[in-house]
């Protein structure tokens, strides 16, 4: 734990800039990379297929386990989930076991009714609005704090290893444990935060029971949980920037701010692009913070889409499986659309090598 | 430490105390990698060298880092402190006034904590092992070969990682219920594999990319098959990568809440994430028990993390930014 900097960072730097295999190469040219047995292109279809099999069988064998596993435990449930969204499945009519008896499913096909219900009701849209606010504020704050701290750590500071260790500690502790710790601090009657406020002559806050402050609290806790990851990622990015660039800029008379804008920011761009995308997706799906800190309360004001979907299926009575699955599918669609738009935006900015 | 203003490695310089303070304050937070130097060529004082900074900047730097470290450390610290307080004092503001281990005693002897711990360890270890085992060859194939179907596989892996648990939890729950896997460790292991396998495959690919292709080539030249190359040459080199990947899937599964809460019910079947919730909920408010259990959960996790963290940066960027 004490070994803080140095070698890993160097590896990280190499990792960012080292050329990955170029996926854009012609896919028909199927020779394994690095092997000298390139197949001449242009034979007939049958020959190509046979030759494809003989060239690629080992690649296909190697990916077979993952393809099978994903097909069975992700693909199949996904298809079933999609099917459920077109039914009226709930607690009372799905297939279930009571003791040794199995009761068959009796739910019916209802077409697009679930989607109509969800999209026409106000619930989904109000949750979506809050989810977007939650995601944007969490990621923005986490990113700013992480970049700032990474900048501060990326210099000669006495006790640097200690600072680094302290700052990534929130990451080392399972999130659900930390969330309970925060719940204790936020406790309205006897938590230490309110005690501190009152000690400072301010009035106590209803941290988790007032809709506004509950939102602030969940965002704060999520930022607390997210900063270490951001910090480490940005630190790796910063350390991959060659110091010659700073020397050259300084030689040319660039001030600290100019160097930050013109060297540091472009230098961390590629890593930031990936990390921000990942954070957005994670935050959008961040279940435990909301579920354990406020339980979505007060009166659902902090429920994001995923916690609401969870509640529909597992906490409300009767359990609405079809409705919950519909929410799930819509959430997935939103995420995929977001990721595609994000990627396109990056491409447009001329990010040739791209993040993925 | 906050008042520490000179650096050990710096040569002594004169006039540090008279540095112009006004030029410094804004840069403590967000200035770039090179510490803010005095403006070069300004005035008669010898210009500050690279890597030096004024006392105020130093102070700001340390102050900022200290505040950050304090915020990062306080909640876990307070949890630890509270766990040593007797029940009546759980929310007292003092540090430990009467040190007691009663909470720990209670958690271990009077609750199902050890059962939960065992469940968690079993589920998470099996998940991690299976995920790494299943996905490493795929990572290698994706890294080294061009083959039809590669692009769609990459997309599948990527999109699967974006899956919110909300999209799979209902169908998985129904399938588990049909096959009697609810409340069984196997059910949760299968569920966690849906998260861990795509993630591990993706990450392993990043690691294999960092191993020079020349090594494969030399294996081929010596007459190894692709499998032989993978097994005898590349995999041994990728061991750190395997370890980091395993570590990540371990941490992810250890801290998973939603599936664990929904799929495992009944006191004997809970995992730690579910068990901790039983101490503090609508019906009970056993904060003192919760703190002791929380410490017992967090300490091993933090130790594993501390051991693995030196590889974190390498793992992150290798896994995250390359495709």
Residues of B whose CB is below 8 A from A274: 320-321
Which pLDDT belongs to residue B44?
52
Q: Which domain holds residue B155?
A: 106-320
Q: Average the pLDDT over each of A260-269, A309-318, B16-25, B85-94 and give the range with the smallest value.
A: B16-25
| DSSP letter, residue B8 | T
Query: What confidence tens digit (pLDDT) does each residue in B59-78 have?
Result: 888 999 999 999 999 999 99
Residues of A whose CB is below 8 A from B165: 285, 287, 306, 310
Which pLDDT belongs to residue B20?
40
Q: In B84-112, which residue ranges form alpha helices assigned H by DSSP?
A: 102-110
Domain count, chain B: 1
Which pLDDT belongs to residue B32?
43
Angle separating helix axes A122-153 and A265-284, nearest 10 degrees: 140
Q: How many CA atoms lie within 13 A of B312 on its CB side?
A: 26
Place A221 in a pLDDT band, splitting at 50, 70 and 90: very high
Which pLDDT belongs to residue B188?
92
The answer to whether residue B214 is domain-embedded is: yes
Q: What is the mean pLDDT of chain A?
A: 81
- Cβ–Cβ contact A182 with B under 8 A: yes
Give the mean model confidence (pLDDT) for residues B204-212.
86
Tell me if A152 and B262 make a contact (CB, 8 A cut-off).
Answer: no
Q: In sequence order, what are the residues at sequence separation of 6 or more whose Cβ sits closer than 8 angstroms to the Cβ of residue B322?
A: A15, A18, A20, B205, B206, B209
Q: A192 pLDDT exceeds 50?
A: yes
Whether the upstream peptide bond of residue B250 has omega within 30° of 0, thus cis, is no
Q: B41 pLDDT exceeds 70?
A: no
Tell me if A313 and B34 make a contact (CB, 8 A cut-off).
Answer: no
The answer to whether residue B28 is domain-embedded is: no
Which pLDDT belongs to residue A17?
34
Looking at chain A, which residue has its C-alpha nearest residue B255? A174
- Cβ–Cβ contact B122 with A under 8 A: no
CATH number assigned to the domain comprising residue B168 = 1.10.3720.10
The answer to whether residue B86 is domain-embedded is: no
The answer to whether residue B139 is domain-embedded is: yes
- Cβ–Cβ contact A270 with B under 8 A: yes
Place A149 in a pLDDT band, splitting at 50, 70 and 90: very high
The answer to whether residue B298 is domain-embedded is: yes
Q: How many CA atoms lie within 13 A of B175 on its CB side?
A: 21
Looking at chain B, which residue has its C-alpha nearest residue A37? B220
Gap from A83 CA to chain B (nearest CA, Å): 9
User: Please, are residues A151 and A264 in contact by the beta-carbon 8 Å criterion?
Assistant: yes
What top-level class would CATH report for the domain A121-348? mainly alpha
Query: What confidence tens digit (pLDDT) does each residue in B232-259 have?
Result: 888 888 888 888 888 888 888 888 999 9
Which pLDDT belongs to residue A198?
83
Query: What confidence tens digit (pLDDT) does each residue in A56-75 have?
Result: 888 888 899 999 999 999 99
SS3 letters across chain A: CCCCCCHHHHHHHHHHHCCCCCCCCCCCCCCCCCCCCCCCCCCCHHHHHHHHHHHHHHHHHHHHHHHHHHHHHHHHHHHHHHHHHCECCCCCCCCEEECCEEECCCCCECCCHHHHHHHHCHHHHHHHHHHHHHHHHHHHHHHHHHHHHHHHHCCCCCCHHHHHHHHHHHHHCCHHHHHHHHHHHHCCCCCHHHHHHHHCCCCCCCCCCCHHHHHHHHHHHHHHHHHHHHHHHHHHHHHCCCHHHHHHHHHCCCCHHHHHHHHHHHHHHHHHHHHHHHHHHHHHCCHHHHHHHCCCCCCCCCCCHHHHHHHHHHCCCCCCHHHHHHHHHHHHHHHHHHHHHHHHHHHHCCCCCCCC
Query: What confidence tens digit (pLDDT) does each residue in B284-306 have?
Result: 788 888 999 999 999 888 888 87
Q: Which residue among A55, A69, A170 places its CB closest to the CB of B197?
A: A69
Q: Which residue among B1, B217, B310 places its CB closest to the CB of A3?
A: B310
The answer to whether residue B19 is domain-embedded is: no
Q: A8 pLDDT exceeds 60?
A: no
Query: What confidence tens digit (pLDDT) does each residue in A227-237 have?
Result: 998 998 898 88
B5: β partners: none
The answer to whether residue B111 is domain-embedded is: yes
- The residue among B160 and B18 whose pLDDT is bigger is B160
């Amino acid at each position: 734990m004490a070994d803080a900097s140095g070698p890993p960072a160097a590896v990280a730097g190499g990792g960012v800039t080292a050329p990955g295999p170029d996926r854009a190469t012609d896919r028909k040219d199927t020779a394994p990379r690095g092997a000298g047995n390139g197949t001449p292109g242009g034979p007939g279809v049958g020959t190509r297929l046979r030759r494809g099999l003989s060239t690629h069988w080992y690649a296909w064998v190697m990916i077979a386990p993952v393809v099978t596993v994903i097909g069975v435990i992700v693909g199949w449930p996904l298809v079933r989930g999609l099917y459920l969204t077109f039914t009226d499945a709930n607690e009372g009519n799905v297939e279930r076991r009571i003791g040794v008896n199995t009761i068959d499913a009796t739910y019916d096909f209802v077409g697009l009714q679930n989607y109509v219900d969800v999209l026409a009701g106000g619930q989904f849209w109000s949750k979506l609005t809050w989810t977007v606010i939650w995601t944007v504020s969490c990621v923005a704050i986490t990113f700013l704090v992480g970049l700032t701290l990474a900048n501060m750590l990326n210099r000669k500071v006495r006790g640097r290893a200690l600072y680094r260790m302290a700052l990534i500690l929130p990451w080392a502790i399972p999130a659900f444990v930390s969330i309970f710790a925060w719940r204790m601090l936020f406790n309205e009657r006897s938590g230490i935060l309110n005690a501190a406020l009152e000690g400072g002559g301010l009035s106590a806050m209803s941290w988790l029971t007032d809709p506004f402050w509950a939102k602030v609290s969940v965002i704060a806790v999520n930022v607390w949980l997210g900063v270490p990851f951001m910090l480490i990622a940005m630190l790796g990015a910063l350390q991959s920037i060659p110091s010659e660039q700073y020397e050259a800029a300084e030689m040319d008379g660039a001030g600290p701010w100019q160097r930050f804008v013109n060297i540091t920011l472009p230098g961390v761009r590629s890593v930031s692009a990936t990390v921000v995308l990942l954070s957005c997706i994670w935050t959008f799906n961040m279940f435990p913070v909301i579920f354990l800190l406020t339980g979505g309360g007060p009166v659902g004001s902090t429920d994001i889409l995923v916690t609401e979907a969870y509640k529909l299926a597992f906490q409300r009575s009767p359990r609405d499986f079809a409705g919950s699955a519909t929410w799930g599918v819509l959430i997935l669609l939103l995420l995929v659309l977001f990721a595609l738009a994000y990627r396109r935006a990056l491409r447009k900015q001329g990010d040739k090598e791209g993040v993925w | 430490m906050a008042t520490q203003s000179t650096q050990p490695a710096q040569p002594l310089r004169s006039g540090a105390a008279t540095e112009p303070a006004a030029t410094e304050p804004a840069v403590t937070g967000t200035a770039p990698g090179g510490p803010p130097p005095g403006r070069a060529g300004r005035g008669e004082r010898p210009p500050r060298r690279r890597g030096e900074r004024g006392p105020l900047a130093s102070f700001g730097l340390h102050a900022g880092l200290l505040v950050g470290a304090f915020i990062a450390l306080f909640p876990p610290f307070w949890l630890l402190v509270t766990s040593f307080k007797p029940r009546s004092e759980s929310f007292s503001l003092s540090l430990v006034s009467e040190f007691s281990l009663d909470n720990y005693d209670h958690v271990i002897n009077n609750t199902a904590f050890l059962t939960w711990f065992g469940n968690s360890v079993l589920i998470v270890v099996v998940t991690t092992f299976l995920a790494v085992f299943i996905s490493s060859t795929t990572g290698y194939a994706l890294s080294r070969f061009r083959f039809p179907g590669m692009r769609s596989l990459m997309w599948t892996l990527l999109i699967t990682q974006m899956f919110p648990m909300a999209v799979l939890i209902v169908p998985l729950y129904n399938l588990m219920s049909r096959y009697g896997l609810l409340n069984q460790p196997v059910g949760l292991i299968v569920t966690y594999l849906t998260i861990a396998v795509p993630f591990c495959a993706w990450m392993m690919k990043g690691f294999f990319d960092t191993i020079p292709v020349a090594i494969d080539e030399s294996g081929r030249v010596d007459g190894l098959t692709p499998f032989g190359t993978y097994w005898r040459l590349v995999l041994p080199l990728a061991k750190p990568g395997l370890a980091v990947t395993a570590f990540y899937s371990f941490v992810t599964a250890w801290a998973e809440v939603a599936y664990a809460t929904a799929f495992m019910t009944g006191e004997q079947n809970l995992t730690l994430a579910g068990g901790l919730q039983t101490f503090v909920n609508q019906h009970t408010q056993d904060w003192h028990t919760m703190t002791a259990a929380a410490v017992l959960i967090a300490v091993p996790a933090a130790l594993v993390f501390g051991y693995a963290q030196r590889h974190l940066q390498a793992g992150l960027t290798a896994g995250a930014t390359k495709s």
